[in-house]
């Protein structure tokens, strides 16, 4: 690369915001009203005023937050924090006058894109659904999020963490109806997610996540996930038959405990385990 310092351009700065900040700092509920999803919004600042002082990085609240001289340090989900190169890039951009993006290209991949209609040709991989989780879920479901520790211990920040779940599995490849993550975004299992909704996910976004699960919950390289046979699940939903949860067949046997009065129409919690074909063997059904 060239040896003399280059002027940091805004596109690079926005990329850092997209990767580290926008999961929280976007939309009508952005913390302190500060949206970091476009140049205009960054310059607009927060309800406390501007966070970028042109030419003066040290005097910019945004820089103080990423350096930690003003607290809480950002990103709130850290550590990790931005690294030195990244912080310098933002500081250089401000020192050089915080200029707007030079070219307005229409196909920048800045803001996490809302789900596009599924691309049938290559199938759906994690790369297609990750932006949905990043934009709508990771602000809470991360090691340190808006609500502190991840709700119920569930981290949705990476493929591994989503598939690992907690002591329970949330994605059953091939079976969206048995996947609590899907049930939560459909609103079958309550409370519906995202917890700070409405707005909830759009029908297209829900459909994309469903297809991703149906096609085997592939990782970014297109490898299908294995069925987590024997793992625990806890599903919320409506009993639609004596052995069916919103149409999902439940395997019931003599040892399945039926607590309280459970009848078709009741909202219930089903605890069970994943069978070898990706179904659910119910161990306990109770009304909530």
- Contact residues toward ligand HEC (CB under 6 A) are 20-21, 23-25, 31-32, 34, 36, 46, 48, 51, 61-62, 65-66, 72, 74-77, 82, 136-137, 139-141, 145-147, 151-152, 154, 156, 166, 170, 180-181, 184-185, 191, 193-196, 201, 234
Min CB(198)–ligand HEC separation in Å: 12
Min CB(69)–ligand HEC separation in Å: 12
Q: Residue 284 is encoded by which pair of tokens?
A: 């306990």
Q: Which is nearer to ligand HEC, 65 or 218 (CB)?
A: 65
Q: Which is nearer to ligand HEC, 186 or 218 (CB)?
A: 186
Per the CB < 8 A criterion, the answer to whether 233 and 241 are in contact is no
Q: Which is nearer to ligand HEC, 58 or 152 (CB)?
A: 152
Per the CB < 8 A criterion, the answer to whether 26 and 68 are in contact is no
Please state, in angstroms and rounded to a whole number, the distance separating the CA atoms of residues 4 and 285.
67
Torsion region of 148: left, alpha or beta (phi above 0 gives left; psi -120 to 50 gives alpha): left
Min CB(229)–ligand HEC separation in Å: 20
State the first-to-last Cα distance of the chain, in angstroms, to the nearest integer.
62
Q: Which is nearer to ligand HEC, 160 or 253 (CB)?
A: 160
Question: Which residue, 97, 18, 9, is CA-closest to 57?
Answer: 97
Min CB(8)–ligand HEC separation in Å: 15
Min CB(24)–ligand HEC separation in Å: 3
For residue 66, how far is the Cα from the chain centroid?
22
Per the CB < 8 A criterion, the answer to whether 288 and 269 are in contact is yes
Please enumerate in sequence order all residues whose Cβ is within 8 A of that of 286, keeping only pairs 6 or more positions apart, or say none: 257, 258, 259, 260, 262, 268, 269
Q: Which is nearer to ligand HEC, 170 or 250 (CB)?
A: 170
Please state, in angstroms and rounded to a whole number, the distance separating the CA atoms of residues 209 and 286.
28
Q: Which is nearer to ligand HEC, 76 or 106 (CB)?
A: 76
Q: Residue 126 is encoded by which pair of tokens?
A: 């994690």
Min CB(16)–ligand HEC separation in Å: 7
């Amino acid at each position: 690369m060239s040896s003399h310092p280059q002027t940091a351009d805004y596109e690079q700065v926005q990329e850092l915001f997209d990767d580290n900040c926008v999961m929280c700092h976007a939309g009508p509920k952005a913390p302190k009203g500060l949206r970091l999803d476009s140049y205009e919004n960054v310059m607009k600042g927060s309800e406390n005023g501007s966070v970028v002082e042109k030419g003066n990085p040290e005097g910019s609240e945004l820089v103080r937050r990423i350096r930690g001289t003003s607290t809480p340090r950002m990103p709130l989900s850290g550590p990790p924090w931005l690294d030195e190169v990244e912080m310098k890039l933002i500081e250089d951009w401000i020192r050089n006058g915080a200029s707007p993006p030079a070219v307005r290209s229409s196909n920048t991949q800045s803001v996490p894109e809302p789900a596009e209609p599924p691309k049938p040709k290559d199938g759906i991989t994690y790369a297609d659904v990750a932006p949905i989780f990043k934009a709508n879920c990771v602000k809470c479901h991360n090691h340190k999020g808006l609500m502190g520790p991840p709700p119920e211990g569930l981290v949705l920040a990476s493929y591994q963490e989503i598939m690992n779940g907690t002591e329970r599995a949330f994605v059953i490849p091939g079976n969206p109806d048995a996947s609590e993550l899907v049930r939560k975004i459909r609103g079958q299992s309550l409370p519906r997610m995202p917890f700070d909704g409405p707005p909830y996910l759009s029908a297209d976004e829900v459909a994309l996540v469903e297809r991703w699960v149906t096609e085997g919950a592939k990782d970014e390289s297109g490898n299908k996930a294995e069925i987590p046979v024997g793992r625990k699940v806890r599903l919320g939903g409506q009993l639609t038959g004596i052995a069916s949860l919103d149409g999902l067949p439940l395997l019931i046997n003599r040892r399945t405990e039926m607590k309280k009065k459970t009848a078709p129409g009741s909202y219930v919690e089903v605890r069970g385990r994943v069978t070898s074909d990706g179904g659910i063997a119910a161990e306990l059904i109770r009304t909530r």
